[in-house]
């Protein structure tokens, strides 16, 4: 636990529960398809260096999100916690950009010794009340969370596929530009697959062709920061994440891709490598932002 103002009373102290980064390369994707969109969801102006978000409760139990510009401090705290180490995250007052009422993300823990988490007074804070995006029904937030899950558990999703998971190869003339492989059956794991799991449909292949064409268009017209991100993957490969209007794509530069669509609730469409996908992924990786 740490207070943002040591001289403040107990009710004003912030009991830190968790923290996340909000940078072009790393941000809660549930908030938006890219970094500027995620910032806009919090009423923040995008800055190249990004922000740190510290989520906690005050002495009355009210939920608060403290935005700081000391990104390195927050990054060290997150890395320490991930390693199971204790770290007292206590940002300097001068680093505080805003104190926003509420939490933009779901938090499953609560501070001990204070009332249960609740929303603060509507007039308190530096902006409108924050609340987590609705993920109860399929939509952009759920689609992006699904892509996060695939990136996190790539091996498990990949192991579900075999050669029959992909549609037969099509010629360049019939497949359309930028198609490295066809969409096949959605993965059948319980990660949100809908009733259509296991079915190969023409609508799915057409939608995948459209997504790949939009992703290829990023090479000629670079998208907003964070729309294409690159992260470490085993074996010298990279994990690519690309988002666009109504779609998310997760890929490994040495393997295949998965596509999720707003228009196809719960379905995960695999895209085989084919002749075109490797080059597209390599080019996207060159323009992608990476964690520093």
Give residue 161's pLDDT band: very low, low, confident or very high (50, 70, 90).
confident
Looking at residue 10, its pLDDT comes to 55
pLDDT per position as a tens digit, 49-62: 999 999 999 999 99
pLDDT per position as a tens digit, 77-119: 999 999 999 999 999 999 999 999 999 999 988 888 989 999 9
Strand ranges of the sheet holding 247-252, from the earlier edge strand across to the other edge: 228-232, 238-244, 247-252, 257-261, 269-271
Q: Is 101 helix (H, G, I), strand (E, B) or coil?
A: strand
For residues 201 and 193, the model is more confident at: 201
d(CA 221, CA 100): 34
Give residue 163's pLDDT band: very low, low, confident or very high (50, 70, 90).
low
Looking at residue 174, its pLDDT comes to 34
Residue pair 52/73 in contact (Cβ under 8 Å)? The answer is yes
Joined tokens for residue 180 = 């490295």
Looking at residue 5, its pLDDT comes to 43
Domain definitions of the chain by residue range: 1-133, 140-287
Looking at residue 162, its pLDDT comes to 75
Q: Which residue has the tokens 């920061």?
A: 225
Residue in 161, 289, 155, 130 with CA at minimum distance from that of residue 233: 155
User: Does pLDDT of 70 surpass 60?
Assistant: yes
Average pLDDT over residues 136-143: 94
pTM value? 0.82
pLDDT per position as a tens digit, 233-288: 999 999 999 999 999 999 999 999 999 999 999 999 999 999 999 999 999 999 99
User: Does pLDDT of 178 surpass 50?
Assistant: no
In SS3 terms, 126-162 reads as CCCCECCCCCCCCCHHHHHHHHHHHHHCHHHHHHCCC
d(CA 42, CA 129): 9
Identify the DSSP state of 200: -
CA torsion sign, 114 to 14 to 131 to 23? negative
How does the average pLDDT of the chain come out, rounded? 85
Looking at residue 232, its pLDDT comes to 94
Average pLDDT over residues 28-52: 97
d(CA 45, CA 160): 41
Residues of the chain with pLDDT > 90, as a percent, come to: 72
């Amino acid at each position: 636990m740490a207070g943002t103002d040591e001289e403040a009373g107990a009710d004003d102290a912030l009991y830190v529960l968790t923290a996340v980064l909000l940078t072009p390369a790393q941000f809660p994707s549930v908030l938006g398809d890219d970094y500027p969109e995620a910032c806009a969801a919090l009423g923040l102006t995008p800055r190249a260096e990004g922000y740190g978000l510290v989520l906690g409760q005050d002495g009355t139990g009210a939920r608060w999100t403290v935005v700081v510009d000391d990104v390195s401090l927050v990054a060290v705290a997150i890395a320490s916690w991930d390693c199971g180490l204790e770290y007292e995250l206590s940002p300097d007052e001068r680093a505080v950009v805003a104190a926003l009422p509420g939490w933009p993300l779901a938090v499953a823990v609560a501070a001990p010794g204070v009332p249960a988490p609740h929303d603060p007074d509507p007039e308190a804070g530096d902006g409108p009340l924050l609340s987590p995006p609705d993920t109860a029904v399929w939509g952009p937030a759920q689609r992006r969370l699904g892509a996060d899950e695939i990136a996190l558990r790539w091996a498990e999703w990949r192991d579900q596929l075999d050669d029959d998971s992909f549609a037969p190869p099509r010629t360049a003339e019939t497949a359309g530009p930028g198609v490295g492989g066809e969409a096949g059956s959605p993965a059948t794991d319980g990660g949100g697959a809908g009733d259509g799991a296991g079915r190969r449909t023409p609508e799915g292949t057409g939608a995948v062709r459209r997504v790949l064409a939009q992703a290829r268009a990023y090479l000629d017209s670079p998208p907003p920061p964070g729309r294409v991100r690159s992260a470490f993957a085993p074996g010298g490969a990279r994990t690519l994440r690309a988002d666009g209007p109504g779609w998310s794509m997760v890929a490994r530069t040495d393997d295949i891709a998965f596509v999720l669509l707003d228009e196809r609730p719960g379905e995960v469409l695999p895209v085989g490598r084919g002749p075109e996908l490797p080059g597209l992924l390599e080019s996207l990786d060159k323009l992608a932002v990476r964690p520093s």
